Structure 1
Amino acid sequence: MLNSDIPTMRIHMQENDQKRDAGLTEPDTLEMFKNLSYGPYGIENTFDIYYPKGTDKCLPTIINIHGGGFFYGDKELYRFYTMYLATQGFAVVNFNYRLAPDHHYPAPLEDTNALINWLIEHGRSYYIDLDRLFLVGDSAGGQLVEQYATLTSNSAYAQKFSFEIAAVQFKAIALNCGAYFIGKNSAINQDFPFYFGETITSALKSQFPVESYITANFPPAFIATSTHDFLKEIASPFADLLQSKGVETVFRLYANPDYTELGHVFHLNQKSELAKQCNNDEMAFFNRFI
């Protein structure tokens, strides 16, 4: 995909997301803190925190890394999904990060790290429990969850990066329709040149494929995909790889009862009972590690 295609892609993707969310309303059962700032990059470094009203002690906390091919998406398009997670008894962090092509790799990882450092310093004021911390992500966000979880669980891998990784560990993660195995069979910038740039340095090349750096210390993982997810074929092999490393892993392939189309990032559709089932399955998985 060329940089010139990105504005058109963003318009089409936003139209589909707005259609998906049309008519939804924010729940009145949550405390919401919106448009907080965790870094110097304006709106791209803003975030929201949600948790149930009446909360008086720190809650297990979910950080969501949104998808969008590294060039699209923001917290507003994920608010109904992440607010639902918060209604299930979690504090939830829903954040923006810098997007390609204006910002290249590893900007989203740097931003995720900056957000977590902010939470380390200020999170208790918002009932964030960093000892019960979980990550979720989908599509490109799933890849970012995979990579950041590898950074926090393998110190040798973390040393390959120019920024110091926040001192946290994740109890578990959930990856939905993720973009795994970047750089395994081709140049890392083949599919995402707008993200990685045209020139691949030896230092950058050494950071991929991420899967080669996953160890048994990687957090327990729930891997979800669907019958018509265009990334479906890499989900099961990724789950198998985690299991081969000794990582506790659950793999789920979701399907409509009549096998009609169930597409990429289906779990975001808050009007869908199957999306609710997937999200509840993941919350039940997280609850095992609280």
Structure 2
Amino acid sequence: MISDEVRQLFNANTKFRHDGDAERLAAERKPDHVTAVMDLPYVDDGHELHRLDVYRPCADGDRPLRLPVILDFHGGGLYHGHKHNTACRDMHLAARGFAVVNANYRLVPEVAFRDQLADALMVVDWLAAHADEYGFDTEHVFITGDSAATLIDLYLCAIMHAPVVADQLRVRPPASGIRIRAIAGVSGMYRFTGGVHGKAMGYYYEGYFPTLKERIAFEPYLDMDRLVVDGDLPPIYMATSAEDYLADNTLEFARILQYRHHDYALRLFAKGLDHPLDHDFSVKETGLPHNDEAMAVVDDIVRFFERYR
């Protein structure tokens, strides 16, 4: 059960962060030559968050019918946020020759983290079922996420790739057999417990895993080293900055990947010269005037994914 104190904390933080998004979204300039199909339901239950968008480069004679796919889940601590927050960045990725599936998912504390993983798995099922309709190359599927969505990405890949993890978490992998070729995480959270923000995470933990049964199931794989060892994770690209308040989480996760000889790339930006490179700068600044560093991350992601096609 979630206490009233924790529920109020989620509500207060949601309002604060939502209010800060509106001005940025109004100022974004999205790229040309990208088509968008909006608000497609991936579950036929009428839930407003069971919807996704599909972006593709405008068709021309040189474009293949089927494109490699990038699946994106937005950040927001797992308790707020929306797919429109990452739409501009995703459209820039689509302009580089990808089909991008940008999906919402239900939020804490309405649901627990396991339910969010179930939503993500249903998006994968939807992708497989609609590959012909939208020109998805299901042999080349990639995934990205910012902030807390990096946890959705990591656990989703582990469930899809490693039966031992799926069994422990009591989550059934998709029947399609799709595998994720590579992950790109920006300003990643990469942990549920401990770290520099461990005290705050202690409050949020109650929302992520509200029942004893869920806590017991996930406890072994809250150890990110064990998730890397058992999860058969694909190669991982990570970007952060010296001004990102979650930079330590990225650096610690990079240390684990290095120790385990896992294939990864790390981009750490220095402090911005003409403006701060705050948390999630690589998503939030893509459509704004001062976007050189954000576009550099877009370039990195494209190059990284192209290595594994």
Instruction: Please confirm whether the aligned pair reaches a TM-score higher than 0.5, indicating the same fold.
Output: yes
Helix, strand or coil at the partner of 2:222: coil
- Return the alpha-carbon distance in structure 2 between the equivalents of residues 244 and 23 of structure 1: 42
Letter of the aligned partner of 1:83 in structure 2?
A: M
Letter of the aligned partner of 1:190 in structure 2?
A: G
- 2:207 is matched with which residue? 194
Aligned residue pairs total 290
Structure 1 gaps of 5+ residues are none
- Return the alpha-carbon distance in structure 2 between the equivalents of residues 173 and 246 of structure 1: 16
- 1:203 is matched with which residue? 217
Letter of the aligned partner of 1:70 in structure 2?
A: L
- Return the alpha-carbon distance in structure 1 between the equivalents of residues 166 and 194 of structure 2: 19
Instruction: Identify the structure with the greater helix proportion.
Output: 2
- 1:280 is matched with which residue? 299
Structure 2 residue 75 is the aligned partner of structure 1 residue 47:
no
Partner residue of 1:170 out of 180, 183, 201: 180
CA contact (8 A) 2:73 2:103 kept: yes
Letter of the aligned partner of 1:86 in structure 2?
A: A
Task: Give the deviation of 1:109 after TM superposition.
Answer: 0.7
- Return the alpha-carbon distance in structure 2 between the equivalents of residues 156 and 107 of structure 1: 19
- 2:75 is matched with which residue? 67
CA contact (8 A) 2:188 2:246 kept: yes
Helix, strand or coil at the partner of 1:229: coil
Of 247-256 and 179-188, more deviation after overlay is shown by 179-188
CA contact (8 A) 1:104 1:195 kept: yes
CA contact (8 A) 1:137 1:174 kept: yes
Equivalent residue runs for 1:31-180 within 5 Å: 31-39=35-43, 40=45, 42-54=47-59, 55-166=63-174, 167-180=177-190
Task: Give the deviation of 1:11 after TM superposition.
Answer: 2.4
Task: Give the deviation of 1:242 after TM superposition.
Answer: 1.4
Partner residue of 2:241 out of 203, 209, 226: 226
| TM-score, L = length of structure 1 | 0.92
- Structure 1, residues 244-275: CA drift from partner, whole Å, max 9, x if none? 22321111111245385311011011221111
Helix, strand or coil at the partner of 2:169: coil
CA contact (8 A) 2:159 2:171 kept: no
CA contact (8 A) 1:33 1:49 kept: yes
Task: Give the deviation of 1:81 after TM superposition.
Answer: 1.5
Task: Give the deviation of 1:138 after TM superposition.
Answer: 0.9
- Structure 1, residues 159-198: CA drift from partner, whole Å, max 9, x if none? 1233321222111111111112324677997242222226
Two-structure CA RMSD over aligned residues (Å): 2.3
Structure 2 residue 21 is the aligned partner of structure 1 residue 17:
yes
Task: Give the deviation of 1:6 after TM superposition.
Answer: 2.6
Letter of the aligned partner of 2:35 in structure 1?
A: E
- Return the alpha-carbon distance in structure 1 between the equivalents of residues 96 and 226 of structure 2: 35
| TM-score, L = length of structure 2 | 0.86
- Return the alpha-carbon distance in structure 2 between the equivalents of residues 245 and 45 of structure 1: 36
Alpha carbons of 1:28 and 1:89: their partners in 2 closer, same or farther (altered >3 Å)? same
Of 261-270 and 93-102, more deviation after overlay is shown by 261-270
- Return the alpha-carbon distance in structure 2 between the equivalents of residues 222 and 99 of structure 1: 25
